[in-house]
Structure 1
Amino acid sequence: MASDMHMPSPVCLIENTSTKLVVNPEALKILSAIAQPVVVVAIVGLYRTGKSYLMNKLAGQKKGFSLGSTVQSHTKGIWMWCVPHPKKPNHTLVLLDTEGLGDVEKGDNQNDSWIFALAILLSSTFVYNSMGTINQQAMDQLHYVTELTKKIRAKSSPDANEDEDSADFVSFFPDFVWTLRDFPLELEVDGQPISADEYLQNSLKLKQGTSPKDENFNLPRLCIRKFFPKKKCFIFDQPTHRKKLGQLEIMHDDELDAEFVQQAADFCSYIFTNSKVKTLSGNIQVNGPRLETLVMTYVDAISSGDLPCMENAVLALAQIENSAAVKKAIAHYDQQMGEKVELPTETLQELLDLHMASEKEAIEVFMKNSFKDVDNLFQKGLAAQLEKRRDDFYKENIKASSDRCSALLKDIFDSLEEDIKQGVYSKPGGYRLLMQTVHELKKKYLQEPRKGIQSEEVLQTYLKSKESVIDAILQTDQNLTVKEKEIEVQRVKAESAEAAAKMLEEMHKKNQQMMEEKEKSFQEHVKQLTEKMEQERAQLMAEQERTMALKLEVCNGTGLVTKGRIPK
């Protein structure tokens, strides 16, 4: 979707029916047209807590996501709004508003768990919206986070333990933002002001103890600390008088509480500045079509009764992208060869050099657009297609050369053919005259440019076809003695044998050149693959280092504020 394309209002991305989750084709069509990297912000929380208002603010609109004004949950499923990113040119901001969790009318909260899990799987920033303070009740309401490892798998390997290493999840989990609405307290501890982030960090401190009560207290806090690599907190005052909350869509900022207006602006500024592009393992940036594939893969897994698996989703995405990468590479090769090659080429090496340059660029195109090519299957497929194209060009080059040479010979030797028919050389001294004419016509033929690699072979084939006619003129030439005729026959045989040997040598040389070209091609594939593997290895090590640092932070409790106590 071009940056100037307008999506006037949100559309349903995933519908939550009474029995299952259903993907909306219209929303997928919108995603498929977004070539830009996407920053995906999803918001979840209990119903009727003002999630949609914040998402509309991020969209720069007062209306869009339905706010509702009653005790009923308004948003059903997951709704999507794609807008140009206000701070990052050539990026698209994808906003995902989820239906309120804990709606008593639904009776079954199974789909709530899936909505929560999908919001995490699809987003690069995950906003959890709740009312009041961070107390045990608020933590208990966040029980969905404790069920994540039961709802999501990081790896597809069948021998993976049920409780996967948290590091497997940290590598793909989004940043975590907790928004506290209608916050009633002063942010201070022991009379000293603290930030909202320090408040959150203090709230995530664990209790020392192993009793069931301690474990219930610690579990949601431990999950948030383990799974989310980056955490942020925002507090909001009540926007206006309770009776006017249902009119937020039509109220201007100057009619709202000034503190709330500033807090909402700070929240939006943070999201715009700090929310990252949605990225998969291996530093793979997600665009619209990739997000489309992730949505379909995850919802299909849920619908089939399986657990959404990040590794499987990435591999499914890789299948699509790598197939497209091969097509792009081949299209680039075809374009380059179409622009540069004029058949027939003067030499085989000229054609092979053009092929090699185009193939090198084609491999680069593939490497740039491919990822997770398991066992290099797609690259091998590309190599096979490029080899076939090279062989096809070789055959076309031979045909083009043969056709041109045959046409030249017909044009140049046509007068000779006619003279032979007219008996011009069937007279005493005719043979010498014939040989002189043949020599002059051969010279003229050899001086013609761009005959290609079949020049000599086509010439010799033509001359061989005239041997019987020439021999007849030789034998009937009364000016020549028997001895002279014998000497001439031997000379012609020697020339013919020499030409045959030369053609055999030329054929051997061509085969050698083709073999060398195959080796060069193989080495170019290996070279570029090795370079890409080195880059991916460096990225993987950087990811592992970040994950290990986060794990150590969780284990050691570093980075958590320890001064003072959490306000009552």
Structure 2
Amino acid sequence: MMEELLLIFILLGYKTFSCLTLIHLCSYVSEMSQFIKVKSKEDESEDESEDDYSRHFPTFIWTGRDVTLKRNLHGRPVTDDEFLENALTPRETIHNKNNVRNQYKERIRTYFKSRKCFMFDPPSGDNNVVQNMDKASDDQLSEGFKVQTNNFCDYIYENVDVKCVDDNIVTGKILAELVIMYTETICSSNAICVEHVVNSISMAENTRAVNEAIQHYQKKMEENVVFPTETLDEISEKCEKEALEKFKKISFKDKDHQFQRQLAENIEKERRKFSERNDMESLNRCENLIEELSKDLERRSYARLGGYQMVMKEMKRIEEEYKKAPRKGNKAEEVFQKFKKSKLMIASNIMEFEKVLEEKLKQEEEKRRKEEEERTKGSNNSQKAGYVAGFLGAAAVGGLSCLKARAAIGGGAAIAAGGGGAAGAAITATSSASVLTVATVGIGLVLVVGIAVTVLVIKNRKHKSEK
């Protein structure tokens, strides 16, 4: 920020510090006011008062260099300020020339509400030092001059207010533009309107403030955003605050915050550009990551029993590794849900295929079971029939053989022959494995019966012989 605008009138030597010199200054100020309009054309209906001018005139500081004149009035010493005020006091006179001078003095007092006077002793008694002041060191300057210089600087830094136009602080750059416009217009003998000048500068400065704030936002976003990111909004908010601070430092008299709203709109446009870029980077990053993690899932076949569980297990692995991967951006969840949805549809189809396959296997198993039961049932019936047939056949053949053998060779041979005959008859009756089994059992029974019959025959013969 710049201290309040000052008009520092410097006089060299005590001889020039006179009422005549002051009158020349008053004349200049009076003429300058003729080329200055405080109010715009729209407000011309209102008369411009001297107070209106005083609000736009700077603080007046009268300085005198190399002054050796003693500041005495009426035989007593006075301060520099008292000396100045005495010089600006109108004098009672009947001469017209003096009346004009009094008018000039009054205008100085009216236009410059704040007035200050500083008188400086010669900086050094050495002419060589005075002639080379730009190269002189502090040690070469007189103590009195250094004290007076410090007093002057302290007053400027501590007492002069910040220069404002309608409560808007005037910065150094704006001040320079104001001075240029003032001087150029006055030198061209054209009247200058303070309000128009201020508005022109306001337009230029606020436009520059918007442009520089936008550039600051773009620069900070490029420096802080690493695409893709999930914290774009937080970074944007921080950069926007910095841009707004920069705008406020440059802006001047932004009426109704018109340019600040323009800045907000431009920042929002830039934020959307960064957001679109971030979305694209995030989308590409996540899709490439999903493609890499799902390679095994894509190349394997799951159209078999247990395929659904295998797919779900693989999906769980992919999800865990996907969540661990860094810098996925704000599209991470959207991309994964899209991938998951497509794979769950495939998993659902695999589940349906498993159900159909299981049903088919059950039907085939039921068919095999029934066929086995039919074969087992047929085998049991054949065994029973063979068993009965073998037994009956063996009994018949065995009995016949016994009768024949009785006459020929006797009981034991007959029974043996009968048993052999029964066996032969049983073997002849069927050639199947089951019938052979039954026939074997029949032979055993026939042998038992044959032995029993033989024993009875022997006992019968013995009984008859005893009689």
SS at match of 2:191: coil
Change (3 A) 1:262 1:147: farther
Change (3 A) 1:234 1:445: closer
The answer to which structure, 1 or 2, has the higher relative contact order (CA under 8 A, 6+ apart) is: 1
Shift of 1:230: 3.1
> Which among 51, 58, 68 is matched to residue 167 of structure 1?
51
Change (3 A) 1:366 1:133: closer
Q: Which amino acid aligns with 1:202?
A: N
Shift of 1:383: 0.7
> Which among 25, 34, 40 is matched to residue 156 of structure 1?
40
Gaps of 5+ in 2: 134-141, 361-467
Give 2:8's aligned residue. 125
> Which among 291, 296, 319 is matched to residue 410 of structure 1?
291
Is this contact kept in 1: 2:8–2:63, CA < 8 A?
no
Change (3 A) 1:294 1:339: same
Give 2:114's aligned residue. 230
Shift of 1:332: 4.2
SS at match of 1:171: helix
Is 1:479 aligned to 2:357, yes or no?
A: yes
Structure 2: distance between partners of 1:450 and 1:270: 62
Give 1:284's aligned residue. 169
Is this contact kept in 1: 2:254–2:260, CA < 8 A?
yes
Give 2:331's aligned residue. 454
SS at match of 2:328: coil
Is this contact kept in 2: 1:172–1:280, CA < 8 A?
no
Is 1:220 aligned to 2:98, yes or no?
A: no
Q: Which amino acid aligns with 1:441?
A: I
SS at match of 1:371: coil
Shift of 1:139: 2.3
SS at match of 2:43: coil
SS at match of 1:399: helix
Give 1:192's aligned residue. 76
Shift of 1:150: 0.3
SS at match of 2:9: strand
Matched length:
343
Give 2:302's aligned residue. 425
Q: Which amino acid aligns with 2:357?
A: N
Q: Which amino acid aligns with 1:365?
A: K
Give 1:437's aligned residue. 314
Structure 2: distance between partners of 1:155 and 1:473: 85
Superposed CA deviations along residues 266-299 of structure 1, whole A, max 9, x for unmatched, are 7755544434688443473543x44542344334
Q: Which amino acid aligns with 1:451?
A: K
Shift of 1:219: 0.8
Change (3 A) 1:222 1:160: farther
Give 1:318's aligned residue. 202
Give 2:281's aligned residue. 400
SS at match of 1:375: helix
Shift of 1:228: 1.7
Give 2:28's aligned residue. 144
Worse overlay, 181-190 or 122-131 = 181-190
Q: Which amino acid aligns with 2:240?
A: E
Change (3 A) 1:262 1:157: farther
Shift of 1:345: 3.7
Percent identity of the aligned residues?
Answer: 32
Q: Which amino acid aligns with 2:299?
A: E
What are the equivalent positions in structure 2 for 1:5-84 lying under 5 Å apart? none
Worse overlay, 177-186 or 356-365 = 177-186
Q: Which amino acid aligns with 1:407?
A: N
Give 1:294's aligned residue. 178
Gaps of 5+ in 1: 1-36, 41-121, 240-244, 253-260, 483-568
Change (3 A) 1:293 1:415: same
Is this contact kept in 1: 2:6–2:60, CA < 8 A?
no
Is 1:358 aligned to 2:243, yes or no?
A: no
Superposed CA deviations along residues 509-548 of structure 1, whole A, max 9, x for unmatched, are xxxxxxxxxxxxxxxxxxxxxxxxxxxxxxxxxxxxxxxx
Is this contact kept in 1: 2:202–2:252, CA < 8 A?
yes
Is 1:307 aligned to 2:191, yes or no?
A: yes
Change (3 A) 1:266 1:148: farther
Q: Give me the TM-score of the superposition, normalised by structure 1.
A: 0.49
Shift of 1:146: 1.7
Change (3 A) 1:448 1:303: same
Q: Which amino acid aligns with 1:479?
A: L
Shift of 1:402: 1.7
Structure 2: distance between partners of 1:262 and 1:318: 45
Change (3 A) 1:198 1:123: closer
Superposed CA deviations along residues 89-119 of structure 1, whole A, max 9, x for unmatched, are xxxxxxxxxxxxxxxxxxxxxxxxxxxxxxx
Give 2:258's aligned residue. 377
Structure 2: distance between partners of 1:168 and 1:299: 19
